[in-house]
Structure 1
Amino acid sequence: MPKPQDVVPRNATGTSTFALRSADPIGRTQPAKPSTAAREYRHDLDGLRGIAIALVVVFHVWMGRVSGGVDVFLVLSGFFFTSMLLRRAGGSGSIGVGQVLWRTARRLLPALTVVLATVVVATVVMRPYTQWGDITAQTLASAFYYQNWHLAYAQLDYAAPDPSVSPLQHLWSMSVQGQFYLAMLAVVALWVSVRRRLPAKPLHRCGFLALLTVVGAVSFWYAAEGSAQHQAWIYYDSGARAWELLVGALLATAAPWITVPPLLRTVLALLGVAGVLSCGLLIDGATRFPGPAALFPVAAAAALILSGMNAAATPQPLPNRILGMRAFTELGALGYALYLWHWPVLIFYLAEYGNLTPGIGGGLLVIATSLVLALATQRLIETPLRQPAVANGATRSTATPPRYNRGVGMLVSILGIGVLAAVFGWQAVLKANPSEPPALLDPVDYPGAATLLAGTVGPSERMRPSVFEGSKDAPKPTFDGCITPNRDVRSCTYGDETASHAIAVVGGSHSEHWLPALELLALEHHFRIVTFLKEGCPLTLSDEPSYALAPFPECHEWSTEILDLLAEQRPDWVFITATRPGSDDGDEVPPEFLDIWSALSDRGLNALAIRDTPWLRRDGVHYRATDCLANHGTPDSCGMDRALVLEPNNPAEQPASAYPNIFPLDLTDAVCRADRCRVVEGNVLIYRDEHHLTASYVRSLAPELGRQIGSITRWW
Structure 2
Amino acid sequence: MLAVGFETVGSSVPKLPSVVPIQRESVTRPGTAEAVTVRRGDLDGLRGVAIALVVAFHVWMGRVSGGVDVFLVLSGFFFTGAVVRGVERRGVLAPMATARRTVRRLMPSLVLVLAAIVLATIALRPYTQFGETAAQTLASMFYGQNWYLAGAELDYLAPDPSVSPLQHLWSMSVQGQFYVAIVAVLAGWAWLRRRGAVGRPALLLALTGLGLLSFWYAAHGSATHQAWTYYDSLARAWELLAGAVLAVAAPYLRIPVRLRGVVALIGLVMVLSCGPLFDGANQFPGTAALWPVAAACLVIASGFGPAGPRAWPNRLLGGRVCTELGALAYPLYLWHWPILIFYLAETGRSHAGLVDGLLVIGVSLVLAYVTARLVENPLRMPSAGQVSTANNRVAGGLVGVLTVGVLAATLGWQVVLSANPAVPPQALDPHRYPGASALLSGAEYSPEPMRPTVFEGPVDTPSPTTDGCITPDREVRVCTYGDPTATRSIALVGGSHSEHWLPALELLGAEHGFRVISYLKEGCPIVLSDQPSYAEYPFPECHAWTVEVLDRLAADPPGWVLTLSTRYRQSGVGDEVPVEYLEAWSALQDRGLNVLALRDTPRLQRDGVFYRATDCLAHRGDADSCGMDRTDALDAVDPAAEPAAGYPNVHLLDLTDAVCRPQRCRVVEGNVLIYRDEHHLTASYARSLAPELGRQIGLVTGWW
Per the normalisation by structure 1, the TM-score is: 0.93
Q: Is the 8 A contact 2:25 2:40 kept in 1?
A: no
- Cα distance in 2 for partners of 1:33, 1:359 equals 57
Q: Which residue is 1:5 aligned to?
A: 5
Q: Which moved more, 1:661-670 or 1:350-359?
A: 350-359
| Structure 2 residue corresponding to 1:282, chosen from 277, 291, 310 | 277
Q: Which moved more, 1:340-349 or 1:650-659?
A: 650-659
Q: Which residue is 2:630 aligned to?
A: 642
Q: Is the 8 A contact 2:5 2:82 kept in 1?
A: yes
- Cα distance in 1 for partners of 2:366, 2:502 equals 51
| Structure 2 residue corresponding to 1:455, chosen from 426, 431, 442 | 442
Is 2:238 the partner of 1:243? yes
State the 1:426 CA deviation.
Answer: 0.8
Q: Is the 8 A contact 1:20 1:39 kept in 2?
A: no
Q: Is the 8 A contact 1:32 1:257 kept in 2?
A: no
- Cα distance in 1 for partners of 2:258, 2:631 equals 65
State the 1:307 CA deviation.
Answer: 1.2
Distance 1:401 1:260, change over 3 A: closer
Deviations 1:280-327 (CA, angstroms, capped at 9, x unpaired): 22221222221222112111111111111235x122332222111111
- Cα distance in 1 for partners of 2:77, 2:47 equals 12
| Paired residue type of 1:94 | V
Give the 3-state SS of the residue equivalent to 1:488 in structure 2: coil
Residue segments in structure 2 that go unaligned for 5+ positions in a row: none
| Paired residue type of 1:5 | G
- Cα distance in 1 for partners of 2:4, 2:133 equals 28
Q: Which residue is 2:171 aligned to?
A: 173
Q: Which residue is 1:216 aligned to?
A: 211
Q: Which moved more, 1:182-191 or 1:98-107?
A: 182-191
Percent sequence identity is 62
State the 1:444 CA deviation.
Answer: 2.0
Deviations 1:325-357 (CA, angstroms, capped at 9, x unpaired): 111111111100110001101111111122221
Is 2:513 the partner of 1:518? no
Q: Which residue is 1:291 aligned to?
A: 286
| Structure 1 residue corresponding to 2:327, chosen from 333, 342, 360 | 333
Q: Which residue is 1:558 aligned to?
A: 545
Give the 3-state SS of the residue equivalent to 2:490 in structure 1: strand
| Structure 2 residue corresponding to 1:78, chosen from 76, 81, 91 | 76
- Cα distance in 1 for partners of 2:688, 2:26 equals 68
Q: Which residue is 1:683 aligned to?
A: 671
- Cα distance in 2 for partners of 1:523, 1:11 equals 75
Residue segments in structure 1 that go unaligned for 5+ positions in a row: none
- Cα distance in 2 for partners of 1:32, 1:301 equals 28
Q: Is the 8 A contact 2:27 2:37 kept in 1?
A: no
| Structure 2 residue corresponding to 1:122, chosen from 117, 120, 123 | 120
Q: Which moved more, 1:168-177 or 1:274-283?
A: 274-283
State the 1:34 CA deviation.
Answer: 8.6
| Structure 2 residue corresponding to 1:573, chosen from 560, 575, 584 | 560
Q: Is the 8 A contact 1:23 1:255 kept in 2?
A: no
Deviations 1:221-251 (CA, angstroms, capped at 9, x unpaired): 2222222332222211111111111111111
- Cα distance in 1 for partners of 2:295, 2:503 equals 52
Distance 1:299 1:653, change over 3 A: same
Q: How does 1:193-592 map to 2 (within 5 A)?
A: 193-198=191-196, 200=197, 203-311=198-306, 313-390=307-384, 400-582=387-569, 583-592=571-580
State the 1:131 CA deviation.
Answer: 0.3
Q: Which moved more, 1:422-431 or 1:533-542?
A: 533-542
- Cα distance in 1 for partners of 2:630, 2:356 equals 30
Give the 3-state SS of the residue equivalent to 1:585 in structure 2: coil
Q: Is the 8 A contact 2:225 2:539 kept in 1?
A: no
- Cα distance in 2 for partners of 1:526, 1:575 equals 16
State the 1:360 CA deviation.
Answer: 2.0
Is 2:95 the partner of 1:97? yes
Q: Is the 8 A contact 2:529 2:543 kept in 1?
A: yes
- Cα distance in 1 for partners of 2:484, 2:259 equals 69
* Alignment size in residue pairs: 696
- Cα distance in 2 for partners of 1:367, 1:591 equals 42
Q: Which residue is 2:616 aligned to?
A: 628
Q: Which residue is 1:20 aligned to?
A: 23
- Cα distance in 2 for partners of 1:288, 1:13 equals 37
Deviations 1:75-105 (CA, angstroms, capped at 9, x unpaired): 1000000111011111122333222222211
- Cα distance in 1 for partners of 2:463, 2:449 equals 25
Query: How much is the aligned-residue C-alpha RMSD, in angstroms?
Result: 2.1
Deviations 1:670-709 (CA, angstroms, capped at 9, x unpaired): 1111222111111110000111100100001000000000
Give the 3-state SS of the residue equivalent to 1:39 in structure 2: strand
| Paired residue type of 1:105 | V
State the 1:496 CA deviation.
Answer: 2.0
State the 1:181 CA deviation.
Answer: 1.2
Q: Which moved more, 1:9-18 or 1:622-631?
A: 9-18
Q: Is the 8 A contact 1:24 1:91 kept in 2?
A: no
Q: Which residue is 2:686 aligned to?
A: 698
Q: Is the 8 A contact 2:428 2:684 kept in 1?
A: yes
Distance 1:684 1:32, change over 3 A: farther
Give the 3-state SS of the residue equivalent to 2:152 in structure 1: helix
Give the 3-state SS of the residue equivalent to 2:38 in structure 1: coil
State the 1:23 CA deviation.
Answer: 4.7
- Cα distance in 1 for partners of 2:194, 2:466 equals 53
- Cα distance in 2 for partners of 1:335, 1:164 equals 26
Q: Which residue is 1:60 aligned to?
A: 58
Distance 1:509 1:68, change over 3 A: same
Q: Is the 8 A contact 1:22 1:87 kept in 2?
A: no
State the 1:143 CA deviation.
Answer: 0.9
Per the normalisation by structure 2, the TM-score is: 0.95
- Cα distance in 1 for partners of 2:252, 2:354 equals 48
Give the 3-state SS of the residue equivalent to 2:602 in structure 1: coil
Give the 3-state SS of the residue equivalent to 2:597 in structure 1: strand
State the 1:35 CA deviation.
Answer: 5.4
Q: Is the 8 A contact 1:23 1:253 kept in 2?
A: no
State the 1:377 CA deviation.
Answer: 0.9
- Cα distance in 1 for partners of 2:522, 2:80 equals 40
- Cα distance in 1 for partners of 2:161, 2:468 equals 20
Is 2:107 the partner of 1:112? no
| Structure 1 residue corresponding to 2:662, chosen from 674, 688, 691 | 674
| Paired residue type of 2:5 | Q
- Cα distance in 2 for partners of 1:164, 1:497 equals 41
Q: How does 1:125-140 map to 2 (within 5 A)?
A: 125-140=123-138
Q: Which residue is 2:591 aligned to?
A: 603
Q: Which moved more, 1:259-268 or 1:10-19?
A: 10-19
- Cα distance in 2 for partners of 1:564, 1:266 equals 59
Give the 3-state SS of the residue equivalent to 1:669 in structure 2: helix
